[in-house]
Structure 1
Amino acid sequence: MFFQRKNISCSLKYDMIPLSTPIDDLTFIVFDTETTGFQVATTDRLIEIGAVPVNGLKVMEKDQFQTYVNPRRQISREIIELTSITNEMASEAPVALDVISHFFDYVESHDTVCLVGHYISFDTAVLKSELKREKLALKRLFTIDTLDLIGFIAPSYDMRDLERYAMAFGTRIYDRHSAIGDALTTAYLFTELLLQFKDRGHSTWGELVKATDSQMRSMPF
């Protein structure tokens, strides 16, 4: 029997904001995920989402979002050691669909222009894969990858590790391989990148969209 997938969207303001809007006036949600492994389209599952707003070029630490996720499967010893997320912690957490729905509500409540992440294509693939298992297709997702912004500001850098970039740009570093820790680290890196973006004479939403344009963003979700 054929089941048609329904669409689900994350309420973002990217297509309602004039391109001339100063980036200082925008709210971004920086987020990160932890999973049981890298094969998220097949065997691996979401086990944590962490997020924090950036508004007025400031990280709003007190308004962060964090929750563990029940993956409905065992977490390997390697992942437990890496993330400090145990099977007991995950088994008591809500399932992925409930967590993602709650996360989207959080995003909507902040009038968010777009989602931001470090190597964000992985995190969006995690969300897509979890929703696909529920016969839901994720639409209207607009993202900015800090890697693309770094590529615009400092094209000589050629690495992907978040901590190394945070060190290179002199920004705060929080617990690694924790979704909320990596989201906070990414948020502070992002604010520093925005400040450098402005120092180079770029100050609007339209300029930021153009500077961070990438093939991954244009892929259908």
Structure 2
Amino acid sequence: MTFDPFFFMKGIQGKIGASQGGQSQQQVAYLRQLQREMRVEETLNIPLTELNVIVFDIETTGFYPDQGDQIISIGAIKVKGEKIIENETFYSLVKAEKNVSEEISQLTGLYDTQLQNAPPLSEVLFQFFQFTQDYTLVAHHANHEKIFLQQASWKLYRAPFKHRLVDMSFLYRIAEPDAKLITLEECCEYNGITVNGRHHALNDAKLTAKLWSIYVNKLHQKGCETLNDLYERYTKV
């Protein structure tokens, strides 16, 4: 099987009953139908200048959902080709199941008093998937987002996470092979983007969206027109 670095998928199969962890039949049915209708392979050959994406970010209490770390906020914004759709955004806090450490609160600005009154992850994730529909997802160093969404989707809905998820780091590596860009701050500063409000999920999503818009243009100039072109270039890096 050919490895596609732009498509992360958890291939878990299973059946669920009428309700799973408080999730309604309607929610589960919606997500299952959304997954059935996805045409992720078709996105490989859509020009990046025409590809509709959702750029998103999550804030979490750590790096390991299987060890109890949790999502505490999700932010996202729509981008059509190179155009950022400023008025089409998603943002929500997520109810914390346990106390958030002082370190995380200092980093994100999110405290227990805020998170205790937030909606549960099952509700927020369902709303997030309604917002994203079948769009291609984009994130900075997307593996972090991937493992949390995989775990949450299966835990809450007994459903695999099937969206195509593009990691911005692949774009940096192909467009700027000598720049050695790693952090979001480094990538923004390198491209003349002012960094404000870091570690706020929506702010970080907006910063990443600006980078996506810039790199779609840079890659176009290098002859990379589609995700498939990017994949072919990546195998040669």
Q: C-alpha separation between the residues in 2 aligned to 1:116 and 1:145?
A: 6
Aligned residue pairs, count:
206
- The correspondence for 2:42, drawn from 16, 28, 48, is 16
TM-align CA RMSD: 2.2
8 Å Cα contact 2:139/2:168 also seen in 1: yes
Which blocks of at least 5 consecutive residues in structure 2 are unaligned?
1-13, 17-27
TM-score, normalised relative to structure 2:
0.78
- The correspondence for 1:93, drawn from 118, 126, 134, is 118
Q: What is residue 219 of structure 1 aligned with on the other side?
A: none
How much does 1:55 deviate?
Answer: 0.7
Does 2:53 correspond to 1:28? Answer: yes
Which blocks of at least 5 consecutive residues in structure 1 are unaligned?
214-221
Q: C-alpha separation between the residues in 2 aligned to 1:172 and 1:53?
A: 20
Q: Deviations over 1:109-136 (max 9, x none)?
A: xx52x11000101011111222343362
Q: C-alpha separation between the residues in 1 aligned to 2:145 and 2:180?
A: 21
How much does 1:212 deviate?
Answer: 5.7
Does 2:184 correspond to 1:162? Answer: yes
Structure 1 SS opposite 2:74: strand
8 Å Cα contact 1:59/1:191 also seen in 2: yes
Q: What is residue 171 of structure 2 aligned with on the other side?
A: 149
Q: What is residue 211 of structure 2 aligned with on the other side?
A: 189
Structure 1 SS opposite 2:76: strand
Structure 2 counterpart of 1:187, one-letter code: A
Q: C-alpha separation between the residues in 2 aligned to 1:211 and 1:192?
A: 18
Runs of 4+ in 1 over 6 A off after TM superposition: none
Q: C-alpha separation between the residues in 2 aligned to 1:74 and 1:188?
A: 33
Q: What is residue 105 of structure 2 aligned with on the other side?
A: 80
Q: C-alpha separation between the residues in 1 aligned to 2:129 and 2:42?
A: 18
Alignment of 1:56-71 (within 5 A): 56-71=81-96
Q: Structure 1 83/151 Cα, relative in aligned 2: closer, same or farther at 3 Å?
A: same
8 Å Cα contact 1:145/1:212 also seen in 2: no
Q: C-alpha separation between the residues in 2 aligned to 1:135 and 1:104?
A: 12
How much does 1:210 deviate?
Answer: 3.8
Instruction: Report % sequence identity.
Output: 27
Structure 2 counterpart of 1:157, one-letter code: A
8 Å Cα contact 2:40/2:163 also seen in 1: no
8 Å Cα contact 2:55/2:138 also seen in 1: yes
Q: Structure 1 211/115 Cα, relative in aligned 2: closer, same or farther at 3 Å?
A: farther
